[in-house]
Structure 1
Amino acid sequence: MSQLTIPGEVLDVIVVGAGPAGLNAALVLGRCRRNVRLFDDAKPRNAVSHTMHGFLSRDGFEPTQLRAIAREQLAAYPTVSIEEVRVVDAVRTDTGFLVTTSDGRSFQARKLLLATGVVDEVPQQPGFRELYGSGVFLCPYCDGWELRDQPLAVYGHGDDKGGGMALEMTLWSADTVLCTDGPSQLTDDCRNRLDRNGIAVREEKIVCLEIHSRQPYHAAFDIVFESGPRLRRAGIFFNTGRHQSTDLARRLGCDTYATEGCTVDNKQQMTHVPGLYIAGDASRDVLQVIVAAAEGAAAAIGINSALLHEDLV
């Protein structure tokens, strides 16, 4: 890949994405006195979430509250600055990386951390988007406890994305129905397991969710099918995939780029592209706030160690 030589200021690190991974990375790097620019396009994955869970000492916090606290704490570190703009391009240079923002500006850094997250593919039928975060959810580890013992549904097909999640939901509710929105694609073994555990399968196409209440964790809606009776539920968990919010890693030559997330080469979130790191939901499959924050810290330590190695004689 050809590299460019660009005159001007070169930062130590550019962090793209200001979710838990990017914010925690900026914090650790700021404490290392690194000159860091953090880019935030204000489109967090958990924007619809009323609370976050599974984060020790922050269980039940509003995501906006966590971001506000993080920004307040970052303000104590003068070498860290935040740009409220989207990064639209990135290329390698002789000194590291050059990123371009949506307003036409360019910034350079020796190291680049992508903490850009993913976008969840919410089912398109009417009602799903309207109830997203109130009665429609992604992660049972995040929201299953709040919906315990209520009538639930799972939207997905196949043994893993449909049957596997439906079986998992028995931890939280004995009244779970798998809705596959067409042919289930279940193997006989999986269908038998579902039957043994009292999980019904509805293969009819879904027309919409007819909403009766949107109270978070106390929603009420009917799943309306093309044929057959309606199904009244309090929550539905979907498993339809996700895609990265940007393809910057692919454009930079990351050979482990995948639509749902990149694989990194070691515990310091480093890719095979020299100087390029990936952390948070864009890096692997454990999509938890606390894991993203930890990956951001690991990436920051790896970046700082690499910079030290380059600078010390």
Structure 2
Amino acid sequence: MAPRNEVLPGYDVIIVGAGPAGLSAALILGRCRRRVLVCDSGQYRNAAAQAMHGFLSRDGIAPSELRRIGREQLAPYGVELREAAVSGVRAGARRFEVSLEGGERLVCRKLLLATGLVDRLPELAGLREMYGKSVHHCPYCDGWEARDQPIGVYGPGSTGVQLALTMKTWSDDVILFTDGPAPLSEAEEARLARHGVAVRRERIARLEGEDGWLSRVVLADGSAVERRSLFVKARQEQGADLAAKLRCEVTEERGVETAERHEETTTSGVFVAGDASRDVLLAIMAAAEGADAAFGINCALQEEDLA
């Protein structure tokens, strides 16, 4: 292992994040004969998920198995994988310096951020035990499994209205739980009523079920509403602050902003792929963005090499 503060020889690309976006980019760049390092913190947004869905040829696969296959397919191309979190980044003249937890420093010509998002779940008793099994945040990922069942939607105030209406695609029996007073507009009230979505404004005491499977939503007054799944409107945050440190433009609504050129951010030489850029938040889209970013990165490296 290198001394604590030694800066090691450079990579063409360092990829921060080893989910579908990071691994997809690494595969393309490895095949382009680039020296690539993937840094894996071991923190994944879908860690609680039982299976991934909507990923062509891999529908229903466990997230850990997809990562295993992805890593295995990088081996022939010499891509390096490091089980390490990135603690800091700094832009220099035509290069970036990346600091790992523990003090090791590395340099690269281009940087890809595939650091994803973190879902801040509501503090409901029983939710953590059911999350990923019968409590979810993404209808496109888990709505099929809840089809034709009694579905609950959690959204304080009016934030759950659109999600509740969305869930009508999968079930006729949808209830919106606002967990307290909800000053819905007349238009929202009318739209929910028109589509048969009931609204419960009582505070929620806890979720009850067995072995991770929801049975009922217990309200503060002691009454209970039978439900088989709950979809929550979760607050999302960037999985890392690296984009901000590199002065990339980051907005709450869109995440890390990209310019017109293949997932490049507003900071030259820094690219982003996956949920961090808040496009369509599906694993297959993250993988596609990773491939697009890899194409852009390799083109940029070629321009420099052939100048």
Query: Is TM > 0.5 for Structure 1 vs Structure 2?
Result: yes
SS of the counterpart of 2:90?
Answer: strand
2:115 and 2:239 in contact (8 A); partners too: yes
- What is the aligned partner in structure 2 of residue 222 from structure 1? 216
Equivalent runs, 1:1-313 vs 2, <5 Å: 8-78=8-78, 80-159=79-158, 161-214=159-212, 219-227=213-221, 229-258=223-252, 261-266=255-260, 268-313=262-307
Structure 2 regions of 5+ residues with no counterpart? 1-5
1:118 and 1:260 in contact (8 A); partners too: no
- What is the aligned partner in structure 2 of residue 3 from structure 1? none
Structure 1 regions of 5+ residues with no counterpart? 1-5
Q: 1:192 to 1:259 in 2, by over 3 A?
A: closer
Matched-pair identity in %: 48
Q: Which runs of 4+ in 1 moved over 6 A?
A: none
Report the Cα offset of residue 212 of structure 1. Answer: 3.0
Report the Cα offset of residue 55 of structure 1. Answer: 1.0
Which whole-Å deviations, capped at 9, do the CAs of 1:129-167 have from their partners, x for residues lacking one? 1100011001111110111011110011455x3111111
Which whole-Å deviations, capped at 9, do the CAs of 1:171-214 have from their partners, x for residues lacking one? 11111100011222421111111111111101111111122342
2:251 and 2:257 in contact (8 A); partners too: yes
Which whole-Å deviations, capped at 9, do the CAs of 1:96-132 have from their partners, x for residues lacking one? 1111111111110010000001110111111111100
Q: 1:267 to 1:154 in 2, by over 3 A?
A: farther
| Cα distance in 2, alignment partners of residues 103 and 208 from structure 1 | 41
Q: Which amino acid aligns with 2:202?
A: E
1:243 and 1:259 in contact (8 A); partners too: no
| Cα distance in 1, alignment partners of residues 259 and 202 from structure 2 | 43
1:220 and 1:235 in contact (8 A); partners too: yes
2:15 and 2:26 in contact (8 A); partners too: yes
Q: Give the aligned CA root-mean-square deviation in angstroms.
A: 1.6
TM-score, length of structure 2 as denominator length: 0.94
2:137 and 2:234 in contact (8 A); partners too: no
Q: 1:173 to 1:259 in 2, by over 3 A?
A: closer
SS of the counterpart of 2:98?
Answer: strand
Which whole-Å deviations, capped at 9, do the CAs of 1:66-100 have from their partners, x for residues lacking one? 1010000001112x100101001101112311111
- Aligned pairs, number: 302
